[in-house]
Amino acid sequence: KACTAMKEHGSSANRLFRPPLFVETGPHQSDVFGSPLQTIPCDRKSWYWPLLFTARGDLQDLVYNDLLRFLLPTYAGTHWLKFGLLTCCQLGLLVWSFFRAFQLDDNDREQAARLLNVLVVVEFMALLAWIAYMLPTLQALKCDWMNPQVTNRNRMPIHVPMGLYASRRQAREGCCQWDLPARPAYPKSNLWRLDSTSPDDKSWQFRLCQNVEQALAVAEEQYDIDGWNPIVVPGNWMRQGYDKPIYTNMKYPWPCQPPLIPIKENPTGIYKRKVELPVDWSLADGSDYSIVLQGVESACYVYWNGEKVGFSKDSRLSATFDVTPFIADGTNELTVVVIRWSDGSYVEDQDDWWLAGIHRSVELVRRPRRADILQYLVHAKDSGELNIQVYCRSPIGRTKEARKLTFELLEDEHVVSDDSLGKNVWKAGPRLWEDKVHIAENVDSCSISARICPIRQWTAETPHLYTLVITMSYDDGITAQAEACRVGFRTVSIQKNGQVCVNGKAITICGVNRHEHDPDDGKVVSIESMKRDVCLLKQNNFNSVRTSHYPNHSAFYRICDFYGMFVCDEANIETHGMKPMGRLAHCPGWEACFVSRVARVVQRDYNHASVIFWSMGNEAGRGRNFVKARKTIQQIDNSRPIVYESGGALAEGSGRSELTDIVCTMYPSVPRAVDLATRSDDDRPVILCEYSHAMGNSNGNVHLYWREIWDKNVPRLQGGYIWDMVDQGMRVSGHDKNSCYFAYGGDFGDEINDKQFCINGLFSPDREPHPAVAEVKFLQQPVVFEPMEPYLNSTHLRITVSGTKERCHASVRFNMTSRYSFRDLSHLTWSWSITGNRAESPIRRGTFELSSAEQVQEVTIELDKVLSRLIQLEKSRPIGGNSYFLNLRGRLKAGESWADAGHLLVSQQFPVFFSFENFDIQPPKAPLPPAAVSSTLSAEMTDDTATIFWRRNEEERVLAAFDRETGALVSYCPRRENILEAPLVPNFTRAATDNDRGGMELILDFMFPIKGLKELVGSVFGGNDFSYVSQWSFAGLTQDRPPLTRCNNFKIAEVILTDQYTCTAECQIVHAVWGTTLFNTTVHYTVFSNGQIKVSQKLVPSAVLRRLPSLPRVGLTMQLIPSLCSVGYFGRGPGENYPDRKSGSEFGLYSTTPAEMGYSYIVPSENGSRSDCEFISFRSPEGEGLLIVADKELVCFSALSQTASQLDNATHTCDLPPAKNGTTPISVNIDHKLMGIGGDVSWY
C-alpha cells in the first residue's frame, strides 16, 4: 500500500479526474493486454486505399475535413474566420472599385464612373446584407447551448455511484440494491430522490416555452407557478401531452449548420419543485449539498431559490451541482430549464427518438462535514490482485484531524434478484481481507493493493461478486463515511493470437445492441424493465450487450454484474447526419465535447466487472478528437480494450481504423467478415458491432454468420451484436378506446422523420419475442452435438437395430462440444425423445448423462426402450412411410437468478432412419374394406366454366369447377359445400417486408436533399430506390398491381380406365398494366373419383424477368371458408420460419389456427410461413376439411386471417381487421419456392 500526493496537478478541486490530457501512452499497455494494442503493421501500403489515410492529419484529413471545416464552419472560431475573410474580401473589392473610379481617363471617366458607382453601391449593399446575415449567427454563438467549447458551467466532476452511507452495514446492504438507496424509501439515507411518487403526484410543475430566451426569462423573473401544469419526473414531456416526439435515423430534424440550433423554435421546458429539507438535515452541521440530475435531454440550466447554479450538456450522464451556498432552512425551490435542442444534439444523432425532458432521477445529496471520499476506482484481476485508488478532499478547517481509511473485502451474497422494500436482498458473508491506511492532512489520494487467494473469478457465465467496503473514520472512531461496491475479479486481454480473452480464455460475443426504450414512457426505463431485458437475453443465450449508443442508467450495469452479462459501454457520441461524417470529430472546437463525453463514462463505470470494452461512440467519423479521446481513456484505464466504429463509409475506416483495438465493422457480408478475420496484415480480433438488422420480419441468413463464428479455423472472428434488441415503437390508442398500436416516425406529425427504421428489434416494445429469437437462440446455444462417423448418412442418422424382436438393441453416439468458456455442464440436465410424423406427442422419452467437466466428450444414447413401439409403428406404416426424429434437450437443473428450473437452453434435432435389416417386419394384411360407394365422374363445358360432376349413389352434384378465362379452380365441394372462398390461382407476389422495401429511399433523401436529384439517380441506375419492391413493381409482381392470368386454352380429357379427368389450362401470366407476358404456364388438374384433385404447374419465365435478383415466390394461393380453422401440418415449427431462417425450427406434427399462425409485426408484412412441409390439413369443428399433400418436394405454406393485399396496404396493426378464427376467410399460400426474408442489411 502507498499514499501519494498529486500536488503537480493543482488543488483538489481541479485535480480530481483532470489528469494531464493527451500524453502519449507508455509501453505498459503490452503488459496489460498481452500484446501491443497498436498492431497495425508499419507497411501501410499493404492496406486497401482508404486506410492509407489516418486521423492524424494527412491527406485525407486535409481534403476531407480541414478544408471543409472552413467552408462549412462548425464552431464560433471558424464562423468568425469565415466572416472575417469574406468581409475583408468584400471590403477590398469595395475599396478597389472606389479608387479605380479616380484612375480613369477623362475620355471614359463619365461612363465608367456611372458603372463603378453602381458597382460600389451593389458591393456596399452586399456587404451590409452579409453583415446583417452573419451578425445574428455570431451573436447566437455566444449562447452556452450553441457553443461546443462550453460543455458545462459549474458542473462537479463525475464519479462512480456513491451512497454516502453512515455505517459499513448500510454500505454492505446498499451495494446489493439495484439503485442507490435513497429517501423517502430509506429514511436514513443521505440521498433524497425527488422523483414523482405516482402519476398523480403534483410535486413537479411544468411550463413549455417556445424557445430558450423565453424560458430563461420566465425562470429568472420568478413568475408565480399558478396555472402551470403538474408533470411526472422522470419523464419525457412529449409522452405527457406536450410537443411531439420525432424519430430520425441519420437526419437532423433541423437545418444542419453546427453548432447553430433554431433560435425561435426550440421548445424549452421549465420544471419547478418545492423542496422541504428533512428534519434531520441541518445546515448548521457543516454538510455540503448538491443536486444531481441523472439524465436530461439535451441541455439544462439549474436554479436553486432563484439563483443560477450551473449549466450542463450530455443527455445520458449525470450532472451534479453544488447548491450549498444557495440552500436555506425550510422550503427551497428547484428550477430546471431543459432545452430540447443544443449543440450537443449534433453528437446525439443516434437512430432513436428525440425526446426531451428529465428522463432519469433527480436527487438531492447531503455530504456530511467529514465525509471526504470523493471517488474510488477498483481494479480486480483474475489472479486475485486487488488495486484500489481513493480520492479525498482536503480537510479544510480540520487540519488537526487525522483520517483513516479501512478497506474490507467480504463474501456477501446478493440472495434475491428482487430488491423491493421488505425483502432481505443480501446475506452477510465472511471477511476475506482487511487493511487500513492513515492519510496525512495534505494528501488527497490513496492507493492500496492486495492479493486475495483463493478467489472465484467473475465472468458472464459465472458472475461471482464480492463486496468491497471503504470506511473513513477519524480519531474519535466515529464512521464519517462508508462506501461499497460489488467487485468481480476478472481480466480482459487481447492475446498474441489476436483473440479477446477474459481471464485468459477466448470468448465468443453472443451480443445485441440495446436502446433504453419504454413504449409508454419513452426514455424512462424502470429497474424492472432493465432486469427483464437482461433475463430475456440470458434465457435466449445472449451473453453481451452494447449500450447503443450512449451510457445507460447506472443501475443497468449493476444488473449486468449480478446476472452475468458482458457490456460494451458506449460514449454518448454519434454524428450520423453530418456530411462528411467526421466534420465534428476533426474540428478543434469540438474537442472538449468529444473528450469529456468519453472520459466521463469511464470515470462513472470504471468499477463494473461487466464492462469489458470501452466504446468511444458510433458513426462519428475518424478525427483528431477521437485520437485525443482514446489517449484520455488509456490514461484513466488501460485494462480494457477500446472499440470504435467510425462509420460505414470507406473513408471513415469502417471499423478498421487505428482508433480501435478490435475490428468492429458493421453489417459486413459473411465473406467480408471472414476476410477481416483472416487477413495477414491485421492481427486484431473481429467483433461485429452491428449485424443482422432485425427490422420487421428479418434476421434471415444469420445462420451463415454463426457457421463462421463457431468455425475454429477462423479464431479471430469472435461474434457480434445484432441490431437491435427492442422495437422502439410508441404505444398509442387505436381507432377505439380499447385498442392500441405501436407508432413510429411520422405518426406524430413530425415531418422530418425516418419512418419505421426504429422498428428493428428482436423483441416488440413490450418485450414479446419475435419469431427470429428462436433462430438466434438456437445458433448461440452453449452446447452442440455432432453425430459420429458410423451413424452419418447424407441427410439422416442411420441407426441399425440389432438382436431379436424379443431383445433388440439400438444406440447412437455423438461428439458433444461445450461452447462455454468458463462453466462446466453440471447445471444442465439432459433428455432425448423420438418424435414422428404420426402424432404430436413424442413416441418415447429418455434421459442421458454428460460429464460435467469435459469440454469435448463422446456420449452414447441408448434407444432400447423405444424399439418395441417403433416395430409396432413400422408394421402399420402408411403409404408414405414413417419419419422419425431424435431430439436432444438441455435444461436448467435448478433455477438460476434469471430463469426457472427446467428452462430450455439447448435443443438439437436429427432426422433418423432405423434399419431393421435383421427383422422381418411386414405390415399386416388389411381386412377387406366395406362395399365401396359407387362414384363416377362426368364433365360439362360452357363458354365460361368447366365443371366436374360427382355421381354417388344416384345423386349427382358438383365436385369441382374451373374458370376458363383464368384456368383457376373456383369451386371444390368434397362435402357438398364449396370450401373455396377465393379461387386457387398461381401466386408470385407477397406482402412486402421491410427488407423488401429497403431503406435506400431514406438514404437517397439524406444524400440528395435537393428536389429531383434522387429521381435523377434512380433513372440513371434503374428503379426508384434499388429495393426489391421497386424492382418487383417494375416487373408487375407486387400486391398493389398483381399480375393477371389469361387462359389461352382449357381442355378436359377423360381417362376411362381409372375413372378420372385431366384438366389442362395453358395460361399466360401478364403484367397488369403493360400486358407484357411474365410467365407461360401450364396447370394440370387431375380429378379422381374419390374426390381428390392433383394439381401440378409448369412455369416458363420470360426474358423480361431476367433482371430481377429474385422472385417473391412461386406457388399457389386460395381462400378457404372460415370454418376450416383447425390447421395441422407436418413440417418445421412450431413458430414462423422461412427458407433462410429455419435452423432453429424443428420438424414435427403441429396444430395451430390462422389467428395463431401469423405474427403481428408493427409494420404489417409477409408473415406466418412454415417451411419444409409434407402435408397440411384444414378441419372444421365437425372434423371435415381439406388435406394437402406435397407430391415430391416439400413445400412452404401459410394460412392467415388477413389477405396479402390487406397486409401490404396496412401501415400499422390497427389498419388490419381483427384476426378471428371461424369468422374470416383463411388466406392460404402453398409455395414451391419462397424467397427468404434477408436481414444482412435493410436498406438495399
Query: pLDDT of 913-967, one tens digit each?
Result: 998 877 777 765 655 555 455 678 899 999 899 999 988 777 888 999 999 999 9
Q: How far, in Å, CA of 244 to CA of 403, rounded?
A: 54
pLDDT above 90 for 1007: no
Catalytic residue among 173, 297, 574, 690: 690
**How do residues 334-362 score in pLDDT, each as one tens digit?**
999 999 999 999 999 999 999 999 999 99
Q: How far, in Å, CA of 564 to CA of 554, rounded?
A: 16
Compute the residue count for the chain: 1244
CB atoms within 10 A of CB 675: 12
pLDDT above 60 for 747: yes
Q: How far, in Å, CA of 585 to CA of 1050, rounded?
A: 70
Q: How many CA atoms lie within 13 A of 337 on its CB side?
A: 29
Could you tell me the pLDDT band of residue 1013, with boundaries at 50, 70 and 90? low
Average pLDDT of span 166-170: 94
Q: How many CA atoms lie within 13 A of 495 on its CB side?
A: 13
Q: How far, in Å, CA of 644 to CA of 795, rounded?
A: 43
Instruction: Say what the pLDDT of residue 30 is.
Output: 31
Q: How far, in Å, CA of 711 to CA of 715, rounded?
A: 7
Q: How far, in Å, CA of 605 to CA of 934, rounded?
A: 83
Q: Collect all residues with Cβ–Cβ distance below 8 Å to 1056 and sequence separation of at least 6.
A: none
| SS3 track for 896-920 | ECCECCCCEEEEEEEEEEEECCCCC
CB 685 within 8 A of CB 499: yes
pLDDT above 80 for 112: no
Q: Collect all residues with Cβ–Cβ distance below 8 Å to 739 and sequence separation of at least 6.
A: 733, 1214
Q: Name the grid cell of 989.
A: 407476389
Q: Which residue has the higher pLDDT, 133 or 1095?
A: 1095
Q: How far, in Å, CA of 548 to CA of 908, rounded?
A: 32
Strand partners, 1186: 1178
pLDDT above 70 for 578: yes
**Which residue in 476, 405, 410, 400 sits closest to 438, CA to CA?**
405
Interhelix angle 1013-1021/1000-1007, rounded to 10 degrees, is 130
**How do residues 759-780 score in pLDDT, each as one tens digit?**
999 999 999 999 999 999 999 9
Q: Name the grid cell of 1024.
A: 426508384
**How do residues 1037-1065 score in pLDDT, each as one tens digit?**
999 889 999 999 999 998 876 678 999 99
- Specify burial of residue 991 (Cβ count, 10 A radius: 0-12, 13-18, 19+): buried
Q: Is 690 part of the annotated catalytic residue set? A: yes
Instruction: Say what the pLDDT of residue 261 is.
Output: 92
Instruction: Say what the pLDDT of residue 40 is.
Output: 31
pLDDT above 70 for 26: no
**Which residue in 1225, 988, 1020 sits closest to 1125, CA to CA?**
1225
Residue 334 main-chain phi, psi, to 5 deg: -105, 130
For residue 699, the one-letter residue type is N
Q: How far, in Å, CA of 361 to CA of 222, rounded?
A: 24
**Which residue in 1091, 1033, 1031, 1032 sits closest to 1061, CA to CA?**
1091
Instruction: Say what the pLDDT of residue 119 is.
Output: 72
**How do residues 868-925 score in pLDDT, each as one tens digit?**
899 888 888 887 789 999 999 999 999 999 999 999 999 999 999 998 877 777 765 6
Strongest mean pLDDT among 171-180, 508-517, 1068-1077, 1087-1096: 508-517
Q: Strand, helix or coil at 1087?
A: strand
pLDDT above 60 for 64: no
Strand partners, 230: 205
Q: How far, in Å, CA of 617 to CA of 863, rounded?
A: 54
Catalytic residue among 348, 574, 619, 1001: 619
Calculate Rg over the CA atoms of the chain: 36
For residue 507, the one-letter residue type is I
Q: Collect all residues with Cβ–Cβ distance below 8 Å to 1005 and sequence separation of at least 6.
A: 251, 1014
Q: Name the grid cell of 733.
A: 390508442
Could you tell me the pLDDT band of residue 57, with boundaries at 50, 70 and 90? very low
Q: Name the grid cell of 397.
A: 478547517
For residue 913, the one-letter residue type is F
Instruction: Say what the pLDDT of residue 35 is.
Output: 30
Residue with cell 465472511: 430
Q: How far, in Å, CA of 459 to CA of 777, rounded?
A: 20
Torsion angle of C-alpha atoms 114, 120, 126, 129, degrees rounded to 10: -110
pLDDT above 70 for 1023: no
pLDDT above 60 for 994: yes
Q: How many CA atoms lie within 13 A of 955 on its CB side?
A: 7
Q: Is 411 part of the annotated catalytic residue set? A: no
pLDDT above 70 for 858: yes
Instruction: Say what the pLDDT of residue 252 is.
Output: 93
